[in-house]
Structure 1
Amino acid sequence: MSVLSWLRSAWQATRGEMERAWQNLKPLRLPAGWQIRVLLAVVIVSILIPGVNFYLHRPVPPPAAKPITAGFRADDINLLARLVAAEAQDEPYPGQVAVVAVVLNRLRDPAFPKSVPGIIFEPWAFESVANGRYWQVAVLARDYAATNDALNGWDPSQGALYFFNPAKATSAWIWTRPQITQIGNHIFTR
């Protein structure tokens, strides 16, 4: 049996089933020629709705029209936005900005690597990188907006070098750090 003949027989069977279903739905009282058209429209719309929903909620690439802050490459901004998505996805907006601010504060501190990738991929520096979530999240426009706000000088962390979620923290060392502020579920420390 060829593919074309199989498709033809599948269409005839489907059409026959649709016509029988419409015959049992007498209250609609549509003309006979319109019943199959309405049923096909319902089937097509039920297929299109998930596709439209996927299209509306797809990850957004970084805005190309916005200027990149001096000293930072597009790759650095993408890495920072992905860190926001992975570490602070459900946090309030100031908490998302503060995650990027922590990376920028580490760039200024002599005890840390001198590049954005060096800081983000430093072993055990960020839980989302260590457990692989960093590469699995969808980066959204708000993640880029939080990154740009931090790159433009907003630091809700007030100079913090570390942050952690007290409900998930397993390191006793992080509790020894001087705490600065709490934003959402994260505590920011020096």
Structure 2
Amino acid sequence: MIQVWLALLGLMLTFGLMLAAQGAWRAKRPVVAATPSQARPTTASLPIADMLPAVDGSTGTVALPDLPIPPGANIADRGVVAARPFAWGRASAIDRARAMQCLTAAIYYEAGGESIDGQRAVAQVVLNRARHPAFPATVCGVVYQGVERGHCQFSFACDGALSRTPAIAGWSRAAQVAAAALSGGVYTPVGLATHYHTFAVAPAWNRAMVMTDMVGAHLFHRWKGYWGTAAAMNRVYAGGEVLPVLAPAPVTETASGEDLPPAPASLPAPPLPGATPAPVRPVHPQEMPTPAPPRDTGISDRLATSGQILDKWKDSGRPIERPDAPRPNGSGATAVTDQRR
């Protein structure tokens, strides 16, 4: 019996020594960079690619790129890191003009009521996205991403805001902010943010993000891990700006059963305020459409011939005569008095 207890005690001591040795080995083991699956949120915590459009007051989001993370990449959270200044690279004059137009529209319609800092922060998000491999590589591509499917990343591109002609003063201020950002100006407080939303909404993607700053009515966020670092935003601007094209609008019916007119096939950037309209070609009489036959409105014709006045209302509107006032001279004349009712 004593031998059995001694054997059990020996096994327990041996097991304890093995655990101690394993713990010491783990403590001395060098730290290895995280794998791509460890460095970014899992697919369960992220939306499906391009499946979360923008809601009122926020940007939409996409899935992270299915690309390997460079070995030895530093994914430690360093707080707010300023983005690099925007550089044009190989950009034509058309690219510059279109990028300026698209960025101005994003600033005006997304942050037209914000301060200068609020508008600079929105411009920085657009340029950060243009550098990130998860988004299009052009300014107009970022601003109007998903518009061809009615699944926009910026809400103003799909909610009909572009049909409103911008105010001259507001557009000019947004254009100044856009020009400064495209000339290399950086709004440091938001860092590498690629998303934002207002206080009024709480989009699902913010659980997979790190908040960088609050500017005006917007909260700004970046991705966690490697995809939220400056090393991930390594794309060089190469030009090729393309204005968006709308998808055909769905056919709907009005209450009278008539079809609504189709939406335009193209969606250029909003017109500059104060721009001279294009000349209108005179229409030949033969090109005039044939007027539709009159429709029965159901309104009685008596309303059109109701010119009779009841006897009790015939004298309404005439001034009240004073007892001591002189009588009017002449038939049909009315004395003008200063008495008020």
TM-score (norm 1): 0.58
Aligned match of 1:131: 159
Question: In 2, Cα distance between the equivalents of 1:188 and 1:81?
Answer: 19
Q: Do structure 1's residue 104 and structure 2's residue 137 form an aligned pair?
A: no
Q: Which has the higher helix share?
A: 1
Q: Give 5+ residue unaligned stretches, structure 1.
A: 1-68
Aligned match of 1:187: 219
Question: In 2, Cα distance between the equivalents of 1:120 and 1:135?
Answer: 16
Question: In 2, Cα distance between the equivalents of 1:114 and 1:98?
Answer: 19
Q: Name the SS of the counterpart of 1:141 in structure 2.
A: helix
Q: How does 1:72-83 map to 2 (within 5 A)?
A: 72-83=95-106
Q: Sequence identity, in percent?
A: 30
Aligned match of 1:162: 195
- Residues 101 and 155, structure 1, Cα contact 8 Å, conserved in 2: yes
Question: In 2, Cα distance between the equivalents of 1:84 and 1:102?
Answer: 10
* Deviation, structure 1 residue 144: 0.7
Question: In 2, Cα distance between the equivalents of 1:73 and 1:97?
Answer: 18
Question: In 2, Cα distance between the equivalents of 1:100 and 1:166?
Answer: 19
Question: In 1, Cα distance between the equivalents of 2:199 and 2:204?
Answer: 11
Aligned match of 1:61: none
Aligned match of 1:47: none
Q: Could you tell me which amino acid in structure 2 is paired with residue 143 of structure 1? A: A
Aligned match of 1:142: 173
Q: Do structure 1's residue 91 and structure 2's residue 114 form an aligned pair?
A: yes
* Deviation, structure 1 residue 137: 5.0
- Residues 197 and 218, structure 2, Cα contact 8 Å, conserved in 1: yes
How many residues of Structure 1 are paired with residues of Structure 2 in the alignment? 121
CA displacement 1:24-58 (0-9 Å, x = unmatched): xxxxxxxxxxxxxxxxxxxxxxxxxxxxxxxxxxx
Question: In 1, Cα distance between the equivalents of 2:212 and 2:191?
Answer: 7
- Residues 160 and 189, structure 1, Cα contact 8 Å, conserved in 2: yes
Question: In 1, Cα distance between the equivalents of 2:103 and 2:172?
Answer: 13
* Deviation, structure 1 residue 155: 2.0
* Deviation, structure 1 residue 179: 0.5
Q: How does 1:31-70 map to 2 (within 5 A)?
A: 70=88
- Residues 197 and 203, structure 2, Cα contact 8 Å, conserved in 1: no
Q: Could you tell me which amino acid in structure 1 is paired with residue 196 of structure 2? A: F
Q: Name the SS of the counterpart of 2:136 in structure 1.
A: coil
Which entry has the higher C-alpha Rg, 1 or 2? 2
Q: Could you tell me which amino acid in structure 2 is paired with residue 136 of structure 1? A: R
* Deviation, structure 1 residue 134: 3.6
Question: In 2, Cα distance between the equivalents of 1:166 and 1:144?
Answer: 26
- Residues 82 and 137, structure 1, Cα contact 8 Å, conserved in 2: no
Question: In 2, Cα distance between the equivalents of 1:105 and 1:146?
Answer: 15
* Deviation, structure 1 residue 175: 4.4
Aligned match of 1:57: none
Question: In 1, Cα distance between the equivalents of 2:220 and 2:161?
Answer: 21
- Residues 98 and 150, structure 1, Cα contact 8 Å, conserved in 2: no
Aligned match of 1:34: none
CA displacement 1:49-101 (0-9 Å, x = unmatched): xxxxxxxxxxxxxxxxxxxx844511110111011110001111011011111
Q: Which runs of 4+ in 1 moved over 4 A?
A: none
Question: In 2, Cα distance between the equivalents of 1:135 and 1:163?
Answer: 24
* Deviation, structure 1 residue 170: 5.2
- Residues 98 and 140, structure 2, Cα contact 8 Å, conserved in 1: no
* Structure 1 pair 158–183 and aligned structure 2 pair: CA distance change class (3 A): same
CA RMSD of aligned residues (A): 1.9
